[in-house]
Amino acid sequence: MNRFARTILASSLTYSLGVWADTCPEDSYKLATQAQVDALGAKGCDKVVGNLEIIDSDEIYNLEPLAPIDEIQGALTISGNTALLNLDGLVNVATAASVSVDGNTILTNVDGLRGLRQVGSLSISGNPMLRDVEGLSRLVTVTGDVILDSNPRLQNLAGFNRLISVDGSLSIHENLALLTTDGLSSLTRVGGDFSIQENPALLDVNGLSSLTRIGRDFSIQENVSLLNIDGLSGLIRVGSSITIKGNSALKSIEGLSSLVALTSVTVSASASEGGSISPASQQVFPGLSAQFSLVADPGFYASGVGGTCPSGSLSGATYTT
């Protein structure tokens, strides 16, 4: 009798817990007021089968009513909000087809995304007060693109420590205070293009030491404080071309010495006042060389040619590398 009673109790408990899980009544939601956030939270549902958009609001300040939601089958978009300080109410969201956190005026962190484990694509851009991305510490794979652009106070990428692969492209652009890529220390593969551009405080790419493969183009451009690319010593394959230019403090590209499969490298040229070099750039294939013509203005002469290319020679007005 006691055994039978315990069995009935266990069955009843399992059923009563199950009824709390529920799909939200509407496929998609576009929230622009705090009242709309509160109303969705009051439904107690845990799955959005379409998109959840929190956009262009000057009054939404608290996402905690959305805490029951743990799955978004469409896109999660948090964009253009001027009163939103954090994303804490989204802490239970584990999966989404895409996540965009763009142009939120006072947002300081993304800690509210710390439950996120799987995402199709990820964009974090144009957030002027964003200090860190540590809230993404459980994210392992991204099946689409990753965009980290124009976050002027972002100093590091700590938070991506578990990210192993990006199936799409990876863009790290115009993050004015970014000093290091150390948070990407587990990244081994980028399936599409990978570009690191116009991050004026970036000193090195040592955080990319585990990166071995890039599926398409690799570009490192206009990072004026970049001292070396030694952190790329594990890179063995780039599917298409490499472009390295405009990194005025960079003196060597020896960090690419492990490459064994490469379609081409873009060699770019520039001249100081008093002359010109042509062409402005060339695609160079493995085992071949590139030639550039030097033209001095009247009253000037070519005093020397140098750069990040490992070897080259000047003969008359022609430089070969």
* Ordered DSSP codes for 90-118: GTT--EEEEEEEE--TT----GGGTT--E
The sign of the torsion formed by the CA atoms of 242, 247, 248, 253 equals: negative
Split at pLDDT 50, 70, 90, the class of 13 is: very low
How far is the C-alpha of 175 from the C-alpha of 252, rounded, in Å?
23
DSSP-H helix ranges across the chain: 2-18, 34-42
Residue 249 has pLDDT above 80, yes or no: yes
pLDDT tens, position by position, 75-98: 999 999 999 999 999 999 999 999
* Domain formed by 28-284, architecture: Alpha-Beta Horseshoe (3.80)
pLDDT of residue 254: 82
How far is the C-alpha of 46 from the C-alpha of 38, rounded, in Å?
14
Q: Cβ(267)–Cβ(243) under 8 Å?
A: no
| Type of residue found at 169 | S
Residue 16 has pLDDT above 80, yes or no: no
**Cα angle at 194 between 240 and 102, to 5 degrees?**
145
Query: Which range among 53-62, 127-136, 283-292 shows the weakest confidence by mean pLDDT?
Result: 283-292
Q: Where are the domains of the chain?
A: 28-284
Residue 239 has pLDDT above 90, yes or no: yes
Residue 53 has pLDDT above 90, yes or no: yes
Instruction: Name the average pLDDT for the chain.
Output: 88
pLDDT of residue 267: 77
- The pTM score is 0.79
Higher per-residue confidence, 44 vs 251: 44
pLDDT tens, position by position, 196-228: 999 999 999 999 999 999 999 999 999 999 999
Query: Which range among 143-152, 172-181, 186-195, 242-251 shows the weakest confidence by mean pLDDT?
Result: 242-251
